Amino acid sequence: MVQRQPSSTSTSPLLGASLAFNLAVLAWWASRVYFNVGPAVSETSIHSKDSWTRTASVEAEFAESFNCSGRGVVYAEMFFQGAHDAVSCICEDCFTGSHCEHVVPNCQAIVHSGDPLMFVPYWRQNSAASAVLIPGWYRIGYELTQRLIPGLEKEIRTLHKLVGNAVIDGRYLVVGTGEMQLMMAAYSTVSMEAEGLPVNVVIPPPYYDAYERQVKTIKPGTVTWGMPSLTLQNTENWIPLEVVISPNNPDGSIRTGALKHPRTRTVYDHAYYWPHYTPITGPLDDDLMLFTLSKTTGHAGSRIGWAIIKDHEVYQKMQLFVVLNSVGVSHEAQLRAAQLLRSAREGYQKAKNVGLDGVPTDYAAQQLLFHFAHTKLRSRWDRMNQLFQASNRFLIAQDRDPKYCNFFKEIVRPGPAFAWIHCQREEDKSCLEIFKEAGIVARGGARCGMTDRYVRLSMVDGDSAFENLITHVQALLMSGR
Ligand SMILES: Cc1ncc(COP(=O)(O)O)c(C=O)c1O
């Protein structure tokens, strides 16, 4: 093959211009480095191929494009030791092989936990809007005076205003390592204010069982799980700490406090008060409200939660607990959370009056997180309902009546994160066992303070896990077992 020689006459002016441009950039760069002039970041430095972000971005893109047959992932750190062909994908349940190329036969549907993996396709479609790069020098100090990084604080406040789910102006914010840590901070705050009286944590069933297990790690006597003895119940000698989970896990119900004791202190867990799961009927304004990134964007592994607090003293005590328990919250996790919330906010700032008649992938393409998650849950719920409504053995035991949603500006049905199923027949003593025999690993109602006549099924797992659940439910209903 004959190589074409560049024609010196036609290209020389271009070459000259390009050389002059490069020299100018070099001179500008040298002046910045040696004389420290001008703004710190410019278009040129952002787009320079030799910027420090290059290796990190190449590694991240390599991991993202690795072939896992659409059923698994690899992460950049899996390549740190160099041997690329030794790396195997982390496969979704029911797939195996180094590229997740094999289907596991007769695979159970494991839906007991509620890992919010349904958000993965959204974030894959929005990698550019959600990525952060973290240099080695980023916020390495304790930063003892600054617990909540300013960018995250701004994004949390802006997102609540945009969604209209919580009053945030004039309120204090405490960031925690997930709601789990903030709940511990709340027990500690109430017990510090209890003047030596015992504090009893009360949640009417069915409830999120992790809180029961958490309280039971504390020595009884200071903070104790459940109502106190009957003789103490009507006295002033104890402090009830009611946890109101609304919408509730496991049944999605909207709750208000149930205890009438005059000294009741209340913590409101509003993890699921987002438009994906329930209609937003107005901004909540409770004294102590908890939210979590785990349910907002699906990033449960980042361990970011926040408390919105009215009272300054409560704020100080909650903050003190977080400081003494973990010396604050990982700056890297906060940065990532800020970027995720920012991308959600920016998507909505670009969009105007978008309806709900589209499909999740289209909404992901438009960077509309709540539309994506709401329509995904809606279609999952439609399929579950269709299956269960023909059954007189199993009942979906939760209220999903439609309501007007201020955020979507239309009437929508709640799409809870869990299906709460009741086994109706007298002889079906353990719904949990019936589902297990049908290859569905659910969470039994006994763990949620009820009986195993109820089971909880996750509606927020990954797409393949949900499809597997549907297949098993269909088989169970058809078998008449
Ligand atoms: C009601 C409720 N609160 C809190 C949590 C845990 O939140 P985090 O991941 O922020 O600790 C969960 C997790 O499933 C939950 O369902």
CATH code, domain carrying 466: 3.90.1150.10
75, 108, 141 - which closes a domain: 108
294, 315, 347 - which closes a domain: 347
pLDDT score of 40: 40
pLDDT score of 409: 97
More confident residue, 368 or 13: 368
Cβ of 178 closer than 6 Å to ligand 1, yes or no, is yes
Residues 6+ apart with CB under 8 A from 1: none
**pLDDT confidence band for 48 (50 / 70 / 90):** low
Q: How far is the CA of 179 from the centre of ligand 1 (A)?
A: 6
User: Does some domain include residue 135?
Assistant: no
Rounded percentage of the chain residues whose pLDDT exceeds 70: 89
- Name the residue of 118, 212, 294 whose CB sits within 8 Å of the most ligand 1 atoms, as the mutation to test its pocket: 294
Cβ of 208 closer than 6 Å to ligand 1, yes or no, is yes
70 and 198 fall within a common domain? no
Cβ of 249 closer than 6 Å to ligand 1, yes or no, is yes
Taking the C-alpha atoms of residue 277 and residue 374, their distance in angstroms, rounded to an integer, is 7
Check if the beta carbon of residue 290 is closer than 8 Å to that of residue 166. no
**Which residue has the least CA distance to atom 14 on ligand 1?**
114
Whole-number average pLDDT of the chain: 90
Cβ of 294 closer than 6 Å to ligand 1, yes or no, is yes
Q: How far is the CA of 271 from the centre of ligand 1 (A)?
A: 6
pLDDT score of 50: 67
Q: Which atom of ligand 1 lies nearest, measured to the CA of 305?
A: 10
User: Does some domain include residue 416?
Assistant: yes
User: Does some domain include residue 298?
Assistant: yes
> Residue 420, SS3?
strand
Amino acid sitting at position 103 = V
The residues that bridge with 265 in the sheet, in sequence order, are 241
Helix pair 150-163, 331-350: axis angle to 10 deg: 40
List the structure tokens of 191: 């017990």
pLDDT tops 50 at residue 153: yes
308 and 181 fall within a common domain? yes
Q: How far is the CA of 139 from the centre of ligand 1 (A)?
A: 27
The residues that bridge with 71 in the sheet, in sequence order, are none
309 and 173 fall within a common domain? yes
90 and 114 fall within a common domain? no
Q: How far is the CA of 306 from the centre of ligand 1 (A)?
A: 11
Give pLDDT tens digits for 299-353. 999 999 999 999 999 999 999 999 999 999 999 999 999 999 999 999 999 998 8
pLDDT score of 83: 73
- Name the residue of 183, 203, 208 whose CB sits within 8 Å of the most ligand 1 atoms, as the mutation to test its pocket: 208
pLDDT score of 31: 35
pLDDT score of 80: 87
452 and 372 fall within a common domain? yes
Cβ of 363 closer than 6 Å to ligand 1, yes or no, is no
436 and 343 fall within a common domain? no
158 and 285 fall within a common domain? yes
> Residue 438, SS3?
coil
Cβ of 253 closer than 6 Å to ligand 1, yes or no, is no
pLDDT score of 86: 84
411 and 449 fall within a common domain? yes
Q: Is 178 left (phi over 0), alpha (psi -120 to 50) or beta?
A: left
Q: Which atom of ligand 1 lies nearest, measured to the CA of 272?
A: 1
Check if the beta carbon of residue 303 is closer than 8 Å to that of residue 158. no
Cβ of 302 closer than 6 Å to ligand 1, yes or no, is no
Taking the C-alpha atoms of residue 104 and residue 449, their distance in angstroms, rounded to an integer, is 34
User: Does some domain include residue 171?
Assistant: yes
**Which residue has the least CA distance to atom 1 on ligand 1?**
249
Q: How far is the CA of 295 from the centre of ligand 1 (A)?
A: 8
Q: Measuring CA to CA, how many Å separate 137 from each of 60, 124, 149, 458? A: 19, 27, 16, 40
Strands, E, within 133-276: which ranges?
172-177, 199-202, 223-225, 239-245, 265-269
Cβ of 251 closer than 6 Å to ligand 1, yes or no, is no
CATH of the domain at 59: 2.10.25
More confident residue, 21 or 173: 173
Domain that holds residue 81: 22-108
Give pLDDT tens digits for 228-246. 999 999 899 999 999 999 9
Give pLDDT tens digits for 468-479. 999 999 999 998
User: Does some domain include residue 388?
Assistant: yes
Q: Measuring CA to CA, how many Å separate 362 from each of 168, 282, 331, 354? A: 31, 27, 33, 11
**pLDDT confidence band for 35 (50 / 70 / 90):** very low
108, 142, 173 - which closes a domain: 108
List the structure tokens of 35: 């004389």
What number of CA atoms fall less than 13 Å from residue 316's CA on the CB side? 5
**Which residue has the least CA distance to atom 3 on ligand 1?**
271
Q: How far is the CA of 362 from the centre of ligand 1 (A)?
A: 28
**pLDDT confidence band for 22 (50 / 70 / 90):** very low
HEC per residue, 330-365: CHHHHHHHHHHHHHHHHHHHHCCCCCCCCCHHHHHH
The residues that bridge with 37 in the sheet, in sequence order, are none
Residues 6+ apart with CB under 8 A from 203: 211, 212, 242, 243, 244, 245, 449
Residue with tokens 């709940």: 183
194 and 326 fall within a common domain? yes
Check if the beta carbon of residue 390 is closer than 8 Å to that of residue 221. no
Q: Measuring CA to CA, how many Å separate 288 from each of 199, 215, 431? A: 17, 18, 36
Q: How far is the CA of 249 from the centre of ligand 1 (A)?
A: 9
pLDDT score of 144: 81
Give pLDDT tens digits for 357-366. 999 999 999 9
Taking the C-alpha atoms of residue 105 and residue 295, their distance in angstroms, rounded to an integer, is 31
The residues that bridge with 444 in the sheet, in sequence order, are 455
Check if the beta carbon of residue 366 is closer than 8 Å to that of residue 351. yes
User: Does some domain include residue 35?
Assistant: yes
**pLDDT confidence band for 123 (50 / 70 / 90):** very high
Q: How far is the CA of 36 from the centre of ligand 1 (A)?
A: 48
- Name the residue of 111, 243, 268, 295 whose CB sits within 8 Å of the most ligand 1 atoms, as the mutation to test its pocket: 295
- Strands 410-412 and 418-423: what pairing? unpaired
Taking the C-alpha atoms of residue 418 and residue 406, their distance in angstroms, rounded to an integer, is 23
> Residue 243, SS3?
strand
- Count of structural domains, the chain: 3
Q: What is the mean pLDDT of residues 448-455?
A: 98
Q: How far is the CA of 30 from the centre of ligand 1 (A)?
A: 51
List the structure tokens of 135: 């240099």
Instruction: Of 5-19, 86-100, 110-124, 391-405, give the lowest mean pLDDT range.
Output: 5-19
Taking the C-alpha atoms of residue 7 and residue 61, their distance in angstroms, rounded to an integer, is 37
- Name the residue of 179, 269, 291 whose CB sits within 8 Å of the most ligand 1 atoms, as the mutation to test its pocket: 179
Q: Which atom of ligand 1 lies nearest, measured to the CA of 248?
A: 1
CA 106 to chain centre: 30
The residues that bridge with 90 in the sheet, in sequence order, are 73
164 and 286 fall within a common domain? yes
414 and 457 fall within a common domain? yes
336 and 461 fall within a common domain? no
